[in-house]
């Protein structure tokens, strides 16, 4: 096997600061990130959004119970929006109606495909109303309805909406369980919303997914979008979670293809801030510039950062959060100037709208750092947006947003195809750096770059692999070197949950190869970057934090090993290796200890092809 050699000298005495926000991520309500990913909610379409099934009257994901029962979902909605903002979306506010015309016959609705873990406890909540008193039975069964896991009965009086709650204790696990809600009286029952959550959820989120986010070491979390920012109505959070109307996608295939075009608004601002604090990330909020007036954007800032005696700060305090959240980073919309986003399409129009929002927001908190949007990755449009938007928005917005999705054919059917796929995807890191340099050359010195979306194209629609793990490791290395000189303090991966770094399954969550790369490289987060002599490019990064020097190494050669010779500033405290032997879809790095040899003040380590490693030294005062 061929072998290359890198002789590197690390100087811990020559250091520069590194932004902790280079380890950022997106948390966008798209596809499987929240619904089916972070959200702990077991039920799908639990608020009955969208049109019902053809000639059934039953909402998507549900089935009707009762051969002669009548169903419809376009009457008497329970869910609603907090206040109108000018958006017009169809079928966001529905309820599921069940009419039982035969006394003594069973009627109702059900949903299957629910994963129940052995010994689990689940909180059930039902919001419903009836035309007359009925006994409503809630049953957790197996798929066929033959095995009863748990059951509860409620007395539903006739009249207005009632909220019914119980906790189910499940002794036996079932990967294909079913919830059935039934009654036998000759009556009409309208279901407004139904919820089924594991009792150990974290603000409605899965704890195993939250733990994976911690493992990634996220320093910045961008929310609620992305594209979804143009669909989000932040003030709906003032309604109970079960009463918040689903949010319909502007372009269903982009944001909500797996949930019939709707997001159930399970996570609000309070939940998002709680998540950021739990995982140690700084919040980065994107406003809905297309539909929220400047006053509504300013109100969001006041809710997050205003004192408890301000109008919206008082609402925050009433919800149990007396102290301000102090959210510093805000984005003025997302990917404006593209057809998949609503709102102004030309830079002058965008600058006018963004300036109005920015001034209203800064009036509430002048310490905000604002990021403007635009097609800065588009070579045909970038120059006009730099001149007419980025420059025009100074001094209100000191950042601009930059996105890249490297798109290459992927062929796993032959050795040659796999090699080409690997070299194209990993090699595109240098292309990204070149595009950043080109953009930097056009910008004034007082405008910084927020590289707040990056990934391989369509990672959210397919399995990832070690190839993308090597891409992620290389991107982090490149940006740790280039982020300072190119003035790019923010770097946000798109996106960890269910679409890149964390794979989510009904029974567990686990890091993908991308996630393994982040978990390895997070040793540099918050450290000072040390000078390295002998580098060919970005194959090594060294950082110092307290008395630990972390050195990460990358060998992105497809088939040659790489021998690294380093000076030893202290004893080796730990050495780990990620090796990419299997490159097929669904593959992971093999993780193990990295063999390290020492001779005098030199350290020797060999990385196999397609490998990344971390060596940590304990510095002494001697």
How far is the CA of 336 from the CAs of 168, 403, 444, 510, in angstroms?
46, 12, 21, 34
Q: Does residue 582 share a domain with residue 513? A: no
- Indicate whether 489 and 590 sit together in one domain: no
For residues 192 and 218, state if they share a domain.
no
What is the domain count for the chain? 3
53, part of any domain:
no
Give a yes or no: residue 46 inside a domain.
no
**CATH code: domain of residue 132:** 2.60.120.260
Residues 6+ apart with CB under 8 A from 253: none
Task: State the CATH number of the domain containing residue 538.
Answer: 2.60.40.1180
Task: Name the pLDDT band for 622 (thresholds 50, 70, 90).
Answer: low
What confidence score (pLDDT) does residue 101 get?
A: 97
User: What does each C-alpha distance from 268 to 40, 304, 483, 533 come to in angstroms?
Assistant: 14, 12, 32, 48
Supply the pLDDT for residue 86: 85
**What CATH number corresponds to the domain at position 428?**
3.20.20.80
> Quick check: helix, strand or coil at residue 426?
helix
Strand, coil or helix: what is 210? helix
374 and 514 part of one domain: yes
Comparing 394 with 2, the larger pLDDT belongs to: 394
Question: Would residue 234 count as lying in a domain?
Answer: yes
**Across 379-394, average pLDDT:** 96
Q: Which two tokens stand for residue 190?
A: 């309208």
Q: Are residues 484 and 506 in the same domain?
A: yes
Round to whole Å and give the CA distance between 231 and 290: 9
Q: Is the pLDDT of residue 3 over 90?
A: no
Model confidence pLDDT, tens digit, residues 554-568: 999 999 999 999 998
Distance CA 578, CA 575 (A): 11
Name the nearest CA neighbour of 245 among 229, 220, 265.
Answer: 265
> Could you write out the three-class secondary structure of 309-364?
CCHHHHHHHHCCCCCCCCCCEEEECCCCCCCCCCCCCCHHHHHHHHHHHHHHHHHH
pLDDT band at residue 594 using 50, 70 and 90 as cut-offs:
very high
On whether both 163 and 216 belong to a single domain, the answer is: no
Lowest mean pLDDT among 17-31, 249-263, 307-321, 503-517: 249-263
Predicted confidence at residue 75, as pLDDT, reads 84
Name the phi and psi angles at 274, rounded to 5: -60, -40
For every residue of 427-458, DSSP letters joined together read HHHHHHHHHHHHHHHHS-TT-EEEEEEEEETT
Residues 134 and 245 in one domain: no
Tell me the β-bridge partners of 450.
Answer: 401, 490
Mark whether 456 and 515 lie in a shared domain: yes
The encoded tokens of residue 438 equal: 């080109």
d(CA 198, CA 207): 10
Quick one: CA dihedral 17, 20, 22, 23, positive or negative?
positive
Please indicate, yes or no, if residue 47 is contained in any of the structural domains: no
β-pair partners for 538? none
pLDDT band at 89 (very low <50, low <70, confident <90, very high): confident
Residue 55 forms part of a structural domain: no
Are residues 348 and 417 both part of a single domain? yes
| Pairing mode of beta strands 162-169, 121-130 | antiparallel
Establish if 544 belongs to a structural domain: yes
**Model-level pTM?**
0.97
Tell me: do 252 and 173 sit in the same domain.
no
Binned at pLDDT 50, 70 and 90, residue 84 comes out as confident
Domain-located, residue 274: yes
Q: Is the pLDDT of residue 132 over 80?
A: yes
> Tens of pLDDT along 91-124?
999 999 999 999 999 999 999 999 999 999 999 9
In a domain, 208, yes or no: yes
Q: 329 pLDDT exceeds 60?
A: yes
Last residue of a domain, one of 473, 501, 526: 526
Rounded distance between C-alpha atoms, residue 4 and residue 39, angstroms: 46
Q: Write down which residue in 198, 228, 263 finishes a domain.
A: 198
CB burial of 309-321 (b: ≥16 within 10 Å; e: otherwise) equals: ebebbebbbeeeb
User: Which pLDDT value is given to residue 600?
Assistant: 87
The domain boundary residue, chosen from 198, 223, 242: 198
| pLDDT score for 1 | 59
- Tell me the residue range of the domain where 117 lies: 63-198
**pLDDT for position 146:** 96
- Average pLDDT score over the chain: 96
User: Is 470 found in the same domain as 410?
Assistant: yes
Same domain, 579 and 604: yes
């Amino acid at each position: 096997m061929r072998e290359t050699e890198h002789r590197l000298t690390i100087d811990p005495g020559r250091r520069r600061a590194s932004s902790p926000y280079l380890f950022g991520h997106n948390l966008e309500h798209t596809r499987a990130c929240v619904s089916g990913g972070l959200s702990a909610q077991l039920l799908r379409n639990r608020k009955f959004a969208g049109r019902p099934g053809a000639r059934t009257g039953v909402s998507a994901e549900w089935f009707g119970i009762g051969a002669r029962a009548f169903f419809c979902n376009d009457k008497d909605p329970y869910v609603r929006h907090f206040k109108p903002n000018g958006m017009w979306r169809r079928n966001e506010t529905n309820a599921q109606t069940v009419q039982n015309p035969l006394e003594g016959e069973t009627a109702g609705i059900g949903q299957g495909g629910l994963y129940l873990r052995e010994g689990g406890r689940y909180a059930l909540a039902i919001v419903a109303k009836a035309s007359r008193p009925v006994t409503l039975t809630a049953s957790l069964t197996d798929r066929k309805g033959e095995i009863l896991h748990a059951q509860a009965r409620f007395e539903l009086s006739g009249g207005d909406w009632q909220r019914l709650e119980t906790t189910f204790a499940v002794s036996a696990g079932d990967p294909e369980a079913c919830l059935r809600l039934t009654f036998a009286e000759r009556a009409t029952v309208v279901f407004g919303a139904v919820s089924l959550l594991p009792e150990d959820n974290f603000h409605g989120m899965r704890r195993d997914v939250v733990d994976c986010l911690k493992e990634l070491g996220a320093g910045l979390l961008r929310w609620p979008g992305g594209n979804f920012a143009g669909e989000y109505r932040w003030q709906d959070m003032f309604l109970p979670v079960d009463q918040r109307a689903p949010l319909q996608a502007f372009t269903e295939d982009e944001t909500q293809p797996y949930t019939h075009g709707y997001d159930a608004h399970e996570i609000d601002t309070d939940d998002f801030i709680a998540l950021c604090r739990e995982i140690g990330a700084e919040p980065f909020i994107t406003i809905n510039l297309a539909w929220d007036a400047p006053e509504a954007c300013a109100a969001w800032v006041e809710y997050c950062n205003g004192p408890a005696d301000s109008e919206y700060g008082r609402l925050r305090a009433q919800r149990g959060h007396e102290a301000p959240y102090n959210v510093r980073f805000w984005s003025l919309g997302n990917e404006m100037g593209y057809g998949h986003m609503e709102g102004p399409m030309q830079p002058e129009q965008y600058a006018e709208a963004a300036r109005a929002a920015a001034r209203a927001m800064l009036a509430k908190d002048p310490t905000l750092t604002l990021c403007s949007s635009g097609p800065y990755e588009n070579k045909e449009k970038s120059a006009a947006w730099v001149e007419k938007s980025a420059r025009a928005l100074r001094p209100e917005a000191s950042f601009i947003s930059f996105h890249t999705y490297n798109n290459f054919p992927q062929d796993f059917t032959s050795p040659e195809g796999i090699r080409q796929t690997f070299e194209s995807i990993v090699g595109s890191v240098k292309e990204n750096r070149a595009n950043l340099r080109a953009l930097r050359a056009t910008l004034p010195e007082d405008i910084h770059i927020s590289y707040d979306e990056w990934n391989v194209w369509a990672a959210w629609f397919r399995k990832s692999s070690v190839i993308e793990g090597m891409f992620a490791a290389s991107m982090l290395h490149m940006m740790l070197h280039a982020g300072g000189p190119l003035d790019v303090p923010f770097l946000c991966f798109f996106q960890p949950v269910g679409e890149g770094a964390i794979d989510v399954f009904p029974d567990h969550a686990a890091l993908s190869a991308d996630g393994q790369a982040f978990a390895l490289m997070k040793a540099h987060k918050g450290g000072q970057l040390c000078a390295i002599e002998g580098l060919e490019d970005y194959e090594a990064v060294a950082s110092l934090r307290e008395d630990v020097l972390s050195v990460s190494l990358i060998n992105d050669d497809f088939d040659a090993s790489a021998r690294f010779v380093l000076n030893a500033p202290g004893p080796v405290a730990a050495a780990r290796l990620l090796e990419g032997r299997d490159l097929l879809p669904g593959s992971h790095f093999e993780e193990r200890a990295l063999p390290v040899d020492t001779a005098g003040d030199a350290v020797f380590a060999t990385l196999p092809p397609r490998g990344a490693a971390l060596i940590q030294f304990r510095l002494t005062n001697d």
